[in-house]
Structure 1
Amino acid sequence: MAKIIYVLNGPNLNLLGKREPEIYGAQTLDDVRAMCEAAAAPKGLEIAFHQSNAEHVLIDWIHEAREAAAGIIINPAAYTHTSIAILDALNTCTCPVIEVHVSNIHKRESFRHHSYVSARADAVIAGCGVEGYLLALQRMATLCADA
């Protein structure tokens, strides 16, 4: 039986590939989903892939993941820097959490340098483009195997 990994994406990531391609690249969120699904299967993982611009919807998925998931990979996007509510929801989870950012948030505006989510994350991957999701899946497979 495959272990389910929730891959959660925050605001504006639905515009990946269209919004600021010089920062975020040309691949779309559908491309990322396909990459994740293809990479997960050989590792015995199944992907529950979601995106929302609404904070409360992301929190509802985190609550759902508490019961259903072996791990959470989350790109909270702008909520990274503002959402104590997402941090609180993640803190209720006992499964591994990996934070992903397409861009290197530490090379950008100073307000992007702080992440509330990092306080809970077991790993943080930033600045690797959409390949960061694949790196997160690789690490998640290791964390799930060790559990």
Structure 2
Amino acid sequence: MIFVRLPKVGEVEVVEENEAEEVQTSGFDGLGAKETKQNKYFWLFSIGYAIIAVSISALSTQYATYFTGELGLSATLVGTLGSVFALGYVFGSTLVGIIVDKVGFGAAWIVMLGCVVVGYTLLLGSIKKVKEQYAEMEVEI
């Protein structure tokens, strides 16, 4: 997840046009397009991220088949689950942006860590319940 934070009032120094000409840059300003294309680390990371993206998209298209085939869920329920996930992602991202703007980046990470702990705890509890239901039906998972 990527967080983009806007600067707060007084956090960025505004330079007038006349003063901008006087400012000298020193140090490394970055690579241009030509240098980037010749950089082996750029290509290694690009290929790695492409492989990760393809594997994630391949898995996400197979979830619906798995849920309907192996788990026996209806297509309507699988579609509803996908839609709820997407809506949760949109509203969650917006909420996280508001939290980061209000309380700061560090405090927002603590809040999100608490949400992750609660989410995993609830997930583990639901897995335990599913195992109990399968045990009653005398099916091994």
TM-score, normalising length: structure 1:
0.28
Higher strand share: 1
The structure with the larger Rg is 2
**Relative contact order: is structure 1 or structure 2 higher (C-alpha 8 Å, sep ≥ 6)?**
1
TM-score, normalising length: structure 2:
0.29
Higher helix share: 2
